């Protein structure tokens, strides 16, 4: 019996925790009949078909999500034609709700809910020759299995996961019941025992993996649980690994913040779902958030400068109109997160908002990922406009290469939302949206934008663009709008180092905005100038966030202050 567990990930760097968990839960004899095959949605379907066909499977078991369900069903159609004897199993969130369509399109067995126990029983059934197809829908046991009954899912090591993100869970369930999430359809949280967690963490640390993403939905819902893990990771840091957590910012307290301040820079990164700052919206989606406390804690987290912070918003929630979203956007930007992720509501199967969509006039795509098109509160035109703003935020704020320039523009614009709104309109007006661009063209776009909308600040913008370019690479040939006023001294440029002169104290200004986490640094809109110019040294043997310093600076001090240059 040849059973293939097929995972189709969104990107190559991702890995499938679900497939590894299903496999790890099997007994030794059962594992001899099962193998995992991972692909991505970006690979040609013909390639995936060829690889699966070459394996000569008796059973194909697909893990189904919003990002891969279209491809999965296309694969099912193909295999029902070319290998009609192959049994098809579908599990995961896309198979757990509204699954009739899957059964009518060739799926033989649907597994609903947590899949470890049902999949194990199916494998045993196939091995014994029992007619498993008599059960078209199998639901996970009402009493969920203890998490410790699932062995460490990376028991064979990490060699197959080089240069990929490793996912890990220490809990299942969520304390929140947010209407847009599948957690609204389940109750309770259960945790992995501490001794087991400690053993698993040791394997990550000694295995010297690059990044581990905890998939716990609200990692710090239990203070004791979160503190124990954070403290252990701080004490056993190998100075190379990074751990990603999704946390509730409002649940942090003084003791937790004090501990987190001791972590090595880069050890942790936090994703915090704000979603909206509209009280009526939060009440409607049943997300009880003290936003004032959340923002206060985010600012406190920023003070040590050691934890990278991602804050999230969702477009299309009930009672969030265009003006309300603009306010939510500006509220979050006031916290100065390292990354602001603007997401768009997806009406997931099984979620309360999908069930209540008509109540709020929510119109959404029938096909996965079920993106919102419009609601009673926000039009399609307004959502489309925000999509363009999101592209500008992702391109110029979240991505590397434009840190100083964009923050100076923010300092000299009415609000962050208005800056990116204007930028998005100008991007489209100048037809930049029609083709892809190299990074050099992005710098020229920002220069052109500055000339048109901030003409009185254009020289500061040019100098900041020059700095941002040099921070990324040892530039030898500058664009014409820099060459018009600046000629580098080639005697001060080597293969790994360079010294360039600037009309402004850019390093001092960047330190100033980075050292003011409790205020809105975008208000610091003036950079000190001096007739004798400022020399900045660039050491390209170092990472971008460490390589720039002014004469007389101590590297240890200066490099710490350039945490922004990413």
Delimit the domains of the chain by residue range: 3-139, 165-398, 427-561
Say which residues have a Cβ less than 8 Å from residue 282's Cβ, sequence separation at least 6.
Answer: 275, 276, 288, 289, 291
One-letter-per-residue 3-state SS of 220-270? HHCHHHHHHHHHHHHHCCCCCCEEEEEECHHHCCHHHHHHHCCCCCCCEEE
Per-residue pLDDT tens for 139-182?
A: 999 899 999 999 999 999 999 898 899 999 999 999 998 999 98
Cβ atoms < 10 Å from Cβ of 205: 17
Note whether 335 and 311 are within 8 A (CB).
yes
The CA distance from 368 to 258, in Å, is 42
Task: Read off the pLDDT of each residue in 253-263 and give the average, rounded to a whole number.
Answer: 98
- The residues with which 137 forms a beta bridge, in sequence order, are 110
CATH class of the domain comprising 165-398: alpha beta
How sure is the predictor about 184, in pLDDT bands with cuts at 50, 70 and 90? low
Q: Is the pLDDT of residue 563 over 60?
A: no
Per-residue pLDDT tens for 51-75?
A: 999 999 999 999 999 999 999 999 9
Strand order in the sheet with 3-9: 34-40, 3-9, 59-63, 87-91, 109-112, 137-139
Q: Reduced to 3 states, what is the DSSP secondary structure of residue 121?
A: helix
The CA distance from 410 to 420, in Å, is 9
What pLDDT shows up at residue 558?
Answer: 34
The CA distance from 131 to 143, in Å, is 25
The CA distance from 13 to 474, in Å, is 28
Backbone torsions φ then ψ of 377, nearest 5 degrees: -110, -20
Task: Read off the pLDDT of each residue in 311-320 and give the average, rounded to a whole number.
Answer: 98
Note whether 294 and 274 are within 8 A (CB).
yes
Q: What fold characterizes domain 3-139?
A: Rossmann fold (3.40.50)
Cβ atoms < 10 Å from Cβ of 519: 12
Block residue for tokens 């060739």: 106
How sure is the predictor about 556, in pLDDT bands with cuts at 50, 70 and 90? very low
What pLDDT shows up at residue 207?
Answer: 93
How sure is the predictor about 565, in pLDDT bands with cuts at 50, 70 and 90? very low
End-to-end CA distance of the chain: 50
pTM, two decimal places: 0.93
Q: Do domains 3-139 and 165-398 have the same CATH topology?
A: no
Block residue for tokens 């240890």: 556
Averaged pLDDT score across all residues of the chain: 92
Per-residue pLDDT tens for 207-237?
A: 989 999 999 999 999 999 999 999 999 999 9
User: What would the DSSP string read from start to end of 9-68?
Assistant: ESSTT---HHHHHHHHHS-HHHHTTEEEEEEETTS-HHHHHHHHHHT--SEEEEE--TTT
Q: How many helices (H) and strands (E) does the chain have?
A: 22, 19
How sure is the predictor about 559, in pLDDT bands with cuts at 50, 70 and 90? very low
Bond preceding residue 369 cis, omega within 30 of 0: yes
Q: Is the pLDDT of residue 416 over 70?
A: yes
Q: Which pair of tokens denotes residue 145?
A: 């299995």
- Supply the DSSP symbol for 541: T
């Amino acid at each position: 019996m040849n059973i293939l567990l097929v995972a189709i990930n969104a990107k190559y760097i991702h890995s499938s925790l679900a497939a590894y968990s299903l496999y790890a839960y099997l007994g030794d004899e059962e594992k001899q009949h099962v193998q995992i095959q991972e692909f991505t949605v970006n690979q040609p379907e013909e390639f995936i078909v060829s690889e699966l066909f070459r394996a000569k499977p008796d059973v194909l078991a697909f893990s189904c999500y919003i990002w891969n369900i279209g491809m999965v069903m296309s694969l099912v159609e193909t295999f029902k034609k070319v290998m009609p004897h192959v049994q098809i199993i579908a599990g995961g969130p896309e198979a757990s709700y509204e699954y009739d369509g899957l059964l009518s399109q060739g799926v033989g067995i649907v597994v609903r809910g947590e899949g470890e126990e049902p999949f194990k029983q199916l494998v045993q059934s196939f091995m014994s020759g029992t007619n498993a197809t008599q059960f078209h829908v199998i639901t996970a046991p009402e009493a969920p299995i203890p998490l410790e009954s699932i062995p460490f899912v990376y028991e064979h090591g990490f060699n197959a996961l080089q240069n990929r993100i490793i996912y890990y869970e220490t809990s299942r369930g969520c304390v929140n019941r947010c209407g847009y999430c599948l957690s609204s359809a389940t109750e309770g949280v259960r945790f992995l025992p501490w001794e087991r967690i400690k053993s698993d963490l040791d394997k990550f640390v000694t295995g010297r993996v690059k990044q581990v993403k905890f998939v716990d939905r609200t990692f710090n819902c239990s203070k004791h649980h979160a503190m124990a893990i954070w403290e252990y990771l701080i004490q056993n840091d190998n100075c190379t690994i990074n751990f990603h957590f999704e946390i509730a910012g409002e649940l942090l307290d003084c003791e937790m913040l004090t501990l987190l301040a001791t972590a090595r820079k880069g050890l942790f990164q936090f994703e915090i779902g704000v979603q909206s700052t509209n009280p009526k919206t939060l009440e409607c989606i049943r997300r009880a958030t003290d936003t004032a406390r959340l923002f206060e804690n985010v600012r406190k987290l920023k003070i040590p400068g050691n934890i990278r912070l991602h804050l999230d918003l969702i477009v299309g929630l009930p009672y969030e109109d265009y003006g309300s979203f603009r306010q939510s956007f500006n509220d979050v930007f006031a916290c100065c997160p390292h990354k602001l992720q603007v997401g768009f509501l997806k009406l997931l199967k099984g979620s309360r908002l999908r069930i209540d969509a008509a109540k709020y006039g929510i119109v959404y795509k029938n096909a996965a990922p079920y993106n919102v098109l419009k609601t009673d509160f926000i039009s399609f035109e307004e959502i489309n406009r925000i999509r363009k703003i999101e592209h500008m935020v992702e391109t110029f704020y979240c991505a590397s290469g434009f840190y100083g320039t964009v923050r100076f523009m923010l300092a000299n614009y009415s609000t962050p939302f208005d800056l990116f709104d204007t930028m998005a309109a100008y991007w489209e007006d100048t037809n930049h949206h029609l083709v892809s661009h190299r990074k050099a063209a992005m710098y020229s776009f920002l220069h052109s934008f500055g000339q048109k909308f901030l003409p009185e600040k254009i020289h500061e913008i040019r100098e900041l663009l020059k700095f941002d370019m040099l921070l990324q690479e040892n530039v030898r040939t500058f664009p014409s709008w820099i060459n018009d006023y600046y000629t580098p001294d080639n005697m001060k440029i080597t293969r790994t180092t360079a010294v360039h002169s600037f009309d402004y104290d850019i390093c001092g200004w960047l330190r100033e905005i980075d050292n003011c986490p409790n205020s809105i640094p975008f208000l610091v809109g003036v950079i000190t100038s001096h007739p004798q110019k400022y020399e900045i040294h660039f050491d390209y043997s170092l990472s971008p966030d460490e390589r720039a310093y002014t004469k007389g600076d101590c590297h240890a001090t200066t490099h710490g202050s350039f945490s922004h240059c990413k």
